[in-house]
Structure 1
Amino acid sequence: MKAQFEKIPSSLSNSFYAFKYENIHFDAPWHFHPEYELTYIVKGTGIRYVGNHIQEFNAGDFVLIGSNLPHCWKSDHQYKDTVKSIVIQWDNDLLGEGWLEKNEFKHIKILLQKSSKGIRFETINSKKTINTLTSILNKNGFEKMLLFLKLLEELSTLNTIKTLTSEGFSPKLNRKSNDRIDKVYDYVQENYSHKIVLSEVSNLVNMGDESFCRFFKKSLNKSFFTFVNEYRINLSCKLLIETNKQVSQIAYDCGYESLPFFYRQFQKFMNCSPLQFKKKYLKMLK
């Protein structure tokens, strides 16, 4: 199916588009475009969706999105401050046709190939990164391009990158499918703390239960309720880190009526228990 593209502003006088985003929340819908995209979160918290991957994001989150890879950031409802990010977008012909085939750019080529699954840069010097990105925003002409290429080269040589989407995922969303997925994301975000009934979700997108389940599985390469549990577990991780609530209260707040089921789902997605997760996080901070 033909993908729905978001139109990225272009200019004959610039090779790439760099801008600062500031708002009361991140509200871009589930979307994709042919351009590559680097997004650095300066302020804000919430859930990041890349392909069929779901993960909590905070300030310092730095992600590279490949061409035509669906993505969006959804702000945490509890986050009351403004949000801010720095975004750079560019197409495959940044330096003209065939530039990635030149030996000088071999590392960047490999990086962009990996970005088809989405990449998160896990160990980044936040101050240095912000300074570099801010410089790119403020410079013009040749100096701006050199800074950007230097940034890509530095990112391409990092050993601590993590690809995001699972094996076998490939974006196959048309405009109608895109709208449906966005509605489902918004519904889960608003109702995760309550029991989610399949018929309510399928009715939301004007589909029968079985048709909806097939559609969702085909679109994201995972079942709808796997998606729901993944969303809830990501939120529970955030509560474990940021609050002193008991595990049982966190499970309830995230929509789990059964504590044993919560523990099984947490183990499934995080490969550890909730308390082990919290201890690992505190140890890492020390």
Structure 2
Amino acid sequence: MNNIIKEITPLTQNDCFTIFSRVKSEFNFPLHFHEEFELNLIVNAKGAKRIVGDNIEEIDDLELVLVGPNLSHVWLSHNCTSENITEVTIQWHKDLFDEKLLKRNQLSFIRRMFERSVRGILFPKATAESVAPRLLAINQMQGFDSVLELMSILHELSTSKSMRVLSDVTFNNSQVLNYNSRRIDKAYEFMNANFHKPIALKDLAKLVNMTEVSFSRFIKKRTGNTFIDSLNEIRLGHATRMLIETTHSVAEISYNCGFNNISNFNRFFKKKKNCTPKEFRESFSGTRVFI
């Protein structure tokens, strides 16, 4: 059973972007994903729940979130009692900004922001307050001016201080993370392909032609995580996806993802998610639709 739907957005190949601006009393769109980038400004929705990838949080009265391609997301009414929720949504093709263009020095901040958006980005409230009037007004602009304004807004967002990545590093496994290291990429590719099997440090060290000690230091320096933390986060990413997309028991998912001790799995999950696997799964209830 899969509770996540793929949204077919109204964008055509002749469009640069589309924008929706609406005032409503509740959130009623299901958990979904799409190939386009999406920027969401939510106003007057204190107490609503936001789900982006495997991140679940209750929101304040103002927030601005960038969701990358193919990352599942939804906003739920939850504890929100407002009758005047304002929502501005901008969607654009993932190839609107050509790869060669993004490699130019002047677009380096936007490129980095797009790379991080595959996990979802929450911008600080001060940034949301700064760009909110521009986002609310952009649909009043015409043609090329509106495209320039979107690019200007994205540049301002990309230089924002204290933006926060939402979803865990491995949840959106269809995305390739770039650590600028062939050895790290090779190690992560191996762990993602074999997460359900026993994996030892010596296996990866041999794979990338390094000693165990050298590789242990190398992966820590490049990723900020130890080997075992990196492996467990990959396993956790697969586990959270299984909790959402399947009806397998928590024990089955634990063992299928390489956690051979369910108690350890539950402890690690609680530490990373601030909830149990059962509570995490229940947080996605109410988002199901029948198509």
TM-score, normalised with respect to structure 1: 0.59
Which residue of 1 is the match for residue 36 of structure 2? 35
Identity %: 27
Q: Deviations over 1:62-113 (max 9, x none)?
A: 1111111111111124515232211111122214563322333111011000
Secondary structure of the residue that 1:44 maps to in structure 2? Answer: coil
Whether the aligned pair in 1 keeps the contact of 2:40 and 2:87 (CA below 8 Å) is yes
Would you say 1:19 and 2:20 are equivalent positions?
A: yes
Partners of 1:210 and 1:152 in 2: how far apart? 40
Partners of 2:171 and 2:29 in 1: how far apart? 22
Unaligned runs of 5+ in 2: 175-244, 259-267, 284-291
Secondary structure of the residue that 1:61 maps to in structure 2? Answer: strand
Unaligned runs of 5+ in 1: 173-204, 234-286
Aligned to 1:209, which of 249, 254, 278? 249
Which residue of 2 is the match for residue 58 of structure 1? 60
Partners of 1:142 and 1:207 in 2: how far apart? 48
Whether the aligned pair in 1 keeps the contact of 2:127 and 2:157 (CA below 8 Å) is no
Q: How many residues align?
A: 198
Superposed counterparts of 1:135-214, under 5 Å: 135-171=137-173, 207=247, 209=249, 213=253
RMSD: 3.5
Whether the aligned pair in 2 keeps the contact of 1:52 and 1:222 (CA below 8 Å) is no
TM-score, normalised with respect to structure 2: 0.58
Which residue of 1 is the match for residue 49 of structure 2? 47
Alpha-carbon spacing, 1:170–1:127, altered in 2? closer, same or farther (3 Å):
closer
Alpha-carbon spacing, 1:228–1:59, altered in 2? closer, same or farther (3 Å):
farther
TM-superposed CA distance for 1:16, in Å, is: 0.7
The one-letter code of the counterpart of 2:249 is D
Which is further off, 66-75 or 76-85?
76-85
Would you say 1:94 and 2:96 are equivalent positions?
A: yes
Q: Deviations over 1:250-271 (max 9, x none)?
A: xxxxxxxxxxxxxxxxxxxxxx
TM-superposed CA distance for 1:130, in Å, is: 1.8
Partners of 1:137 and 1:222 in 2: how far apart? 42
Which residue of 1 is the match for residue 262 of structure 2? none
Superposed counterparts of 1:211-226, under 5 Å: 213=253, 222=269, 226=276
Partners of 2:279 and 2:246 in 1: how far apart? 23
Whether the aligned pair in 2 keeps the contact of 1:39 and 1:64 (CA below 8 Å) is yes
Would you say 1:5 and 2:6 are equivalent positions?
A: yes
Alpha-carbon spacing, 1:217–1:58, altered in 2? closer, same or farther (3 Å):
farther
